[in-house]
Amino acid sequence: MAISTTTALLYLNGVYVAFDGFKAINNLSMTIEPGEMRAIIGPNGAGKTTMMDIITGKTRPDAGDVFFDGGTVDLTLLDETRIAELGIGRKFQKPTVFESHTVEDNLLLALNVDHRVRGTLFWRESRGERESIERVLETIRLKDARHQFAGSLSHGQKQWLEIGMLLSQDPKLLLVDEPVAGMTDVETHQTADLLKEINKRKSVVVVEHDMTFVRALGVKVTCLHEGSVLAEGTIDEVSSNERVVEVYLGR
């Protein structure tokens, strides 16, 4: 069902969401091309997380279009599970890993395989699954921690594990909400490298406050404010934009 003529991987047009009269998203339009990495910045309450909620089906927009995969899928009609199955993975702002499972099991659960009750009851690990878990463990540098409970990892390691879970999920589009919050400078740098590595094969949308990190990514930046796009361009263009400076430094 071709609902739109766009070729974009993700296409948002004229989206509105209000919570009790407060317009969290106000005429938001944006497109993400296949293979692109995009950084989203904006002050608190700009609607960054709400935007992610809309894309992943947690929140339904009051109006507007949200299309995925070249306009073939209307995301506003689907729930979280369906959208995850279509290939949109999400990392939360607060790292949410399964604390009472081991690192390995966290990745295992994230694998994009049979998600039905019967399939998982009679499941046996296949060679392919083992190999992809090994690959991800390598990428996120947690090979030595594989048998540790996720709850015992450091904050930075949990962030990586969650990114690793996204990789296991093998989505087309990764939505990453504040991946370097609470990380050391070294970890921040490593995370930027990790995301650039991931972007070689997947499209990524990163929400982040940390300007050093956004600069390190070196990708197109969108600045949100009061639920709509304030400025878009390279980090230098956006950060020299007068309205962006005004919003960030107070009026």
Q: Does 54 bind another protein (CB under 8 A)?
A: no
CA distance 89 to 64: 22
97 touches another protein by CB under 8 A = yes
* H/E stretch holding 168: helix 155-169
Instruction: DSSP for 215-232, please give it.
Output: HHHT-EEEEEETTEEEEE
CA distance linking residue 211 with residue 244, whole number of Å? 13
Q: Which of 48, 90, 158, 202 binds another protein (CB under 8 A)?
A: 90
203 makes contact with another protein (CB under 8 A): no
For residues 196 and 218, what is the distance between their CA atoms, to the nearest angstrom? 9
Residue of the chain from 29, 72, 120, 240 that contacts another protein (CB under 8 A): 120
Q: Is 107 near another protein (CB under 8 A)? A: no
3-class DSSP state of 251: coil
Q: How far is CA 231 from CA 89, 183, 216, 236, 242, in A?
A: 26, 27, 19, 11, 10
| Contact flag: residue 78 with another protein (CB under 8 A) | no
Report how many residues bind another protein under the rule CB under 8 A: 31
Residue 152 as a binder of another protein (CB under 8 A): the answer is: no
CB-CB contact of 70 with 80 (8 Å): no
Residues whose CB is less than 8 angstroms from the CB of residue 14 and which lie 6 or more positions away in sequence, other chains included: 27, 28, 29, 63, 64, 65
Residues 162-181 binding another protein (CB under 8 A) are 165, 169
CB of 228 to another protein, least distance (A): 25
Q: Which of 62, 80, 197, 246 binds another protein (CB under 8 A)?
A: 80
User: In the numeric block, which tokens belong to residue 79?
Assistant: 């729930």
- The least CB distance from residue 56 to another protein, in Å, is 6
99 binds another protein (CB under 8 A): yes
- Dist CA 85 CA 122 (whole Å): 21
For another protein, which stretch binds (CB under 8 A), given 82-90, 185-193, 209-217, 233-241? 82-90
Nearer residue to another protein within complex by CB, 90 or 202: 90
Yes or no: say if 12 and 28 are a contact pair by the CB < 8 Å rule.
yes
> Residue 176 Cβ, how far from another protein at the closest point, in Å?
13
List of E strands, 134-189: 173-177
CB of 58 to another protein, least distance (A): 8
Amino acid identity, residue 188?
A: T
60 lies in the site for another protein, by CB under 8 A: no
Per CB under 8 A, does 73 bind another protein? no
* Site of interaction with another protein (CB under 8 A): 56, 58, 80-81, 84-85, 89-90, 92, 96-101, 105, 108-110, 112, 115-117, 120-124, 147, 165, 169
